Amino acid sequence: MKKLGLGILAVLLVSLGYYFFLGKSQLTQEMKTRVNTELGKIEKNGFAIQARKVQEKEEHFVLTFDDPEKIVHFLKQQGSDVDIEEIKALKGLKIGVDLLYLHNSYSALSAELYPLHLPDTFHNTQDMNSTDKAFTEQLNAMLKKKALLVHIDFNKMLSSFKGYSKDINETFRTSTPMHIGLSGNTFKGSIKKDRLDTLAEKINNLTVTLGTELTLKLHNLSTNYTQTGSTLYDTHTDYSIEDIHITGQNKNQPFTYRFKGIKGSNITEAKAQLASNKVEVKAKAIALTSQGEKSLFEDTHFMFSLKNIDLTVLQKLETLNSNDSAAFNTLLQELISKGIVIEVPDLSAKHFTYKGQKTDGFSLKSSLEINKSANISTLKENPFTLFNAINAKTSVTLSSSLFSIVSRDPRAMLLMMLIQPKVINGEKHYEVELKAGKLIVNGKTVM
């Protein structure tokens, strides 16, 4: 639902454009004229406007999703991360929109968006059991009280905005009772050249519970998105999460996962019709408890990058019908021909604790290149040719104390008997390379 809210938000932000302060009555009339123009533009891009009622200082209309292909193209132009299948699933959805002009000293225009009617898939009662029907009835009851609502305020120049989504505290009557709690979801941002330029969002608390099987609690999430270049693939997103706590049971065995002090970034960039993506994640502590055994990773770091992604092919893939396997294979072949490079510059933990024993940690570096000449059809017919289609290098370093713990595992013990590590400054090193179909470990061909 959050993704849908942001998608509709992007539509409104782009559609309303820029306005200048001309006095209250003049500004209101100017806005109404521009809204008329922009709503007409929206209708040409796959949406339909229904039941519109215009008054002196407010208006209401209903937004429907009529042409998924046009809608996906339009939303992607605004930077929304959606695909054709997601929009197709919204067929039949109706979004109510309330506009209020000159709401307060900040807001020249306020908008509230809320679903009025569920997508068509929720109304096919012939395929539903009693539990599904009860769930659908509950959703419909939520729609009647506007339980799923996003509020947005625009400044007088309509160059910036701020808003929030309504808190949610609902237990759904599904086969496994599900509770969703969301509080303190706020956002603010800016518009530049008729496009979303920045967006900062916060969530104080998010809780999802599935009976006794799983409980997820997230505390203090913050994200910051910035458009950094001329294309939709020039973006920078930073985020932080104070705490994620997951508890549950698997085959009557309790487990607990806890992630504290998470910070990350996601950077996309486009140059010379080639896109790249860099991801970085840090966590102060990752605590895992399963089958009575506890593990703790401290000061973990993960970096990942993907390079040489053809923008033209990527754009075609984003709008491709998921059932068109022939077209998908053709486009995938085009992507490979550019020489895709995947890198993990760092995967590490400074300290590791297991069964009460604290040790120094580990580090890993890896890179993988897909040969430009690799053939998709050949790979499908004979998956073993994959070994000849890629070149990969991985370097693993373990502290001596961690190596001692790992080597107690019978599976690791067998591997270490066959392949001895290099010892450098008291640490254990493995250099693994896959080249021309050969697997080489520490300079020795294994297979």
Q: How deeply is 234 buried, as exposed, middle or buried, from its count of CB atoms within 10 A (0-12, 13-18, 19+)? A: middle
pLDDT of residue 16: 37
Mean pLDDT within 324-328: 86
Which H or E run includes 117? strand 109-117
286 vs 327, higher pLDDT: 286
243 vs 376, higher pLDDT: 243
Q: Which amino acid is at 309?
A: I
Cα 310 from Cα 308, distance rounded (Å)? 6
pLDDT over 90, % of the chain: 43
pLDDT of residue 7: 46
pLDDT tens per residue across span 40-71: 888 888 899 999 999 888 999 999 988 888 88
- Which of 197, 195, 206, 342 shows the shortest CA–CA distance to 276? 342
pTM: 0.84
Q: Is residue 266 pLDDT above 90, yes or no? A: yes
Check if the beta carbon of residue 69 is closer than 8 Å to that of residue 316. Answer: no
- Which of 227, 361, 222 shows the shortest CA–CA distance to 285? 361
Backbone dihedral angles phi then psi of residue 326, each to the nearest 5 degrees: -65, -45
As a whole number, the mean pLDDT across the chain is: 85
pLDDT tens per residue across span 87-120: 888 888 899 999 988 766 677 788 999 999 988 8
Say whether 90 sits in a helix, a strand or coil.
coil
Q: How deeply is 411 buried, as exposed, middle or buried, from its count of CB atoms within 10 A (0-12, 13-18, 19+)? A: exposed
Q: Is residue 18 pLDDT above 90, yes or no? A: no
Check if the beta carbon of residue 151 is closer than 8 Å to that of residue 104. Answer: no
pLDDT tens per residue across span 22-31: 345 666 777 6
Structural domain spans, the chain = 1-159
**HSE-up of 118 (CA within 13 Å, CB side)?**
17
pLDDT tens per residue across span 220-236: 999 999 999 888 889 99
Contacts for 155 with CB less than 8 Å, ≥ 6 apart: 106, 107, 108, 161
Scored b (16 or more CB within 10 A) or e, 91-124 reads: eebbbbbbbbbbbeeebbbbbbbbbbbbeeebee
pLDDT of residue 19: 32
pLDDT of residue 85: 79
pLDDT tens per residue across span 268-323: 999 988 999 999 999 999 999 988 889 999 999 999 999 999 988 888 887 777 77
Cα 261 from Cα 243, distance rounded (Å)? 6
- Angle CA(36)–CA(41)–CA(44) in degrees, nearest 5? 130
Sign of CA dihedral 33, 34, 35, 41: positive
Say whether 424 sits in a helix, a strand or coil.
strand
Check if the beta carbon of residue 402 is closer than 8 Å to that of residue 364. Answer: no
Check if the beta carbon of residue 335 is closer than 8 Å to that of residue 310. Answer: yes
pLDDT of residue 14: 41
Q: Is residue 337 pLDDT above 70, yes or no? A: yes
